Amino acid sequence: MVPGYRILGRDATPGTTPRDSEAQRHQSGNPIFVKLASEEDRVDFLDGNGVIVPGISAQLVGGHCPGQQIVVIDGQAPIVLASDALHFYEEMQRDMPFEVFTDLPRMYETYDLLRGLQDEQNAVIVAGHDPRVMEMFPAVPGHEGLAVRVSEGKGL
């Protein structure tokens, strides 16, 4: 953990996650660095849609789990970090939901949203767990096979 940095997390108020209380969240759900940052009043919560910093926003999508968000980075071609909203590109291409979900209609809505961003804004969609991400973007020098540099105009 880097001292002084703020952490942005999704608000986990009762009823929005399987863990219903602040105490349960600190005991079982959050890593120790989140607990420590929270005690130092360095945690900001964003529930739903909102701006993280200028040019980077979170958008509530749902489907896989309650409160699921994607991150959109503005640019000539926006970059969308889909995280668990899109585990593998095949899910969106074939309208084939991931096997674990809490809201099937919202999952299909999320795929429609991602396709719309791609078609209408030429957005670069980055799936959360697809190994193809490592092939689609250039490797970070010195970290080949571990990290890639996501950039505009590439990806699916």
Mean per-residue pLDDT of the chain: 83
Whole-model pTM: value is 0.79
pLDDT tens profile 78-105: 999 999 999 999 999 999 999 999 999 9
State the number of CA atoms in the 13 A half-sphere of 71 facing the CB. Answer: 16
pLDDT at 27: 44
CA distance 16 to 1: 27
Domain regions of the chain by residue span = 1-47, 48-156
Q: For 137-143, what is the mean pLDDT?
A: 94
CATH superfamily of the 48-156 domain:
Ribonuclease Z/Hydroxyacylglutathione hydrolase-like (3.60.15.10)
Q: How far is CA 41 from CA 3, 7, 9, in A?
A: 12, 10, 13
Spatial contact of 129 and 87, defined as CB atoms under 8 Å apart: yes
* Tokens describing residue 35: 């607990």
